[in-house]
Amino acid sequence: MAKFFLIGYMGSGKSTAGEKLASKLNYDFIDLDKWIEAEYEQTIPEIFATKGEEGFRAIEHNSLKSLMEKNNVVIACGGGTPCYYNNMELMNNNGVTVYIKMSVDSLVNRLQNAKVKRPLIENKTEKELHAFVSRQLEKREDIYHKAQYTVKGKDININELADFVKQQVGV
Ligand code: S3P
């Protein structure tokens, strides 16, 4: 019985990797942002617009807490999830945490066409985006590095990751 949390910056591929990993392990997959959207019947941009980032972080924390009772599940977090409240500690104490690491350049490349659903970056030019990602990733990495495992997102091999976590956790 195990719970896996995939963490990492926006655009690092947490959801794609999470879905594949879950299917390899025969586990359920939950995308935290999508779970919040279904539960609150609002999109993430709508939650930011009506409740502010602070409101979103509270919702995110409560949602994460309520998912702790699940087992045999892979949960893809939002990029900011580990950085608020005691979320990182909560995840490390209740499951296996995996940081999907990616360089600033790759992230910016991937995020360039995926800004719409992401209120923190939606109005930024490429130059602004690069500066923002680089500054924020530097701050967030102190927390991301508290994950039990780190994998390189760019050449992520899900079969290898699945074998590795199976071996580590004995699932
Ligand atoms: C955020 C990342 C988003 C989403 C929200 C805030 C962040 O998730 O939770 O827009 O603070 O990095 P993704 O990492 O899935 O884009």
Cα of 33 to ligand 1 centre, how many Å?
8
Q: Which of the pair, 164 or 88, is modelled with greater confidence?
A: 88
> What was the pLDDT predicted at 52?
98
Convert the pLDDT of each residue in 135-145 to its tens digit: 999 999 999 99
Instruction: Kindly state the percentage of the chain with pLDDT values over 70.
Output: 100
Domain boundaries of the chain, sorted by first residue = 3-169
**CA gap 96, 104 in Å, rounded:** 25
Q: What does the alpha-carbon distance between residue 156 and residue 19 come to, in Å, rounded to a whole number? A: 13
**pLDDT attached to residue 170:** 80
Atom of ligand 1 nearest to the CA of 53: 6
Q: Is pLDDT above 80 for 130?
A: yes
Q: Could you tell me which of 28, 31, 36 has the C-alpha nearest to residue 59? A: 36
State whether the beta carbon of 79 lies less than 6 angstroms from ligand 1: yes
- Model confidence at 45, in pLDDT bands (50, 70, 90)? very high
Which residue, among 152, 15, 7, 133, has the nearest Cα to 80 in the 3D structure?
7
- Residue 65 banded pLDDT, cuts 50, 70, 90: very high
**pTM, whole model, 2 decimals?**
0.96
Mean pLDDT in residue range 9-35:
96
Q: By the 8 A CB rule, do 96 and 4 touch?
A: yes
Q: How far is CA 87 from the centre of its chain?
A: 12
Q: What CATH class does 3-169 carry? A: alpha beta
